[in-house]
């Protein structure tokens, strides 16, 4: 949870300006790397990742895409981080991203579905669509 708080922390304008001119990695960037390391070092998550033939770059891309789509805190979870660190959610993500797109769907349509499903999951705490 402490790692999620470091990643999902909101910054003031002056803090953001300091981060832009800083030469080293930010605390958020360091925390994200710790998260990715934790995910890949967890035996159960590593098994899921291997089953779907995903790479670290794939997992980072999922995290970044969820962040870019505005997924932030829902209840007690910073969704981009929790999504790659929770077994049922990671399975859902890798499964849906490996499925062929339904007819007349774009990749954006798929991500809209993912965001909606994850929002419902983290709000309700139930698997539902997942």
- The 10s digit of each residue's pLDDT in 93-127 is 999 999 999 899 999 999 999 999 999 999 987 65
Q: Please provide the average confidence, as pLDDT, over all residues in the chain.
A: 85
SS3 78: strand
| Distance in angstroms (rounded) separating the CA atoms of residues 12 and 27 | 14
Q: Model pTM?
A: 0.80
- Where exactly are the structural domains of the chain? 2-124
Q: Which pLDDT band holds residue 75 (cuts at 50, 70, 90)?
A: confident
Q: How many angstroms separate the CA atoms of 95 and 60, rounded?
A: 16
Which residues, in sequence order, are bridge partners of residue 77? 74
């Amino acid at each position: 949870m402490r790692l999620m708080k470091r990643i999902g922390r909101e910054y003031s304008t002056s803090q953001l300006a300091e981060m832009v001119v800083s030469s080293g990695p930010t605390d958020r960037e360091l925390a994200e790397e710790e998260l990715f390391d934790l995910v890949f070092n967890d035996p159960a998550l590593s098994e899921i990742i291997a089953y779907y033939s995903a790479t670290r770059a794939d997992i980072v891309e999922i995290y970044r895409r969820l962040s870019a789509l505005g997924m932030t805190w829902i209840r007690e979870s910073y969704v981009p981080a929790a999504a790659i660190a929770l077994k049922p959610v990671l399975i859902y993500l890798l499964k849906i991203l490996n499925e062929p797109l339904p007819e007349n769907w774009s990749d954006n349509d798929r991500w809209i579905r993912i965001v909606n499903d994850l929002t419902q999951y983290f709000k309700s705490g139930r698997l539902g669509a997942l």
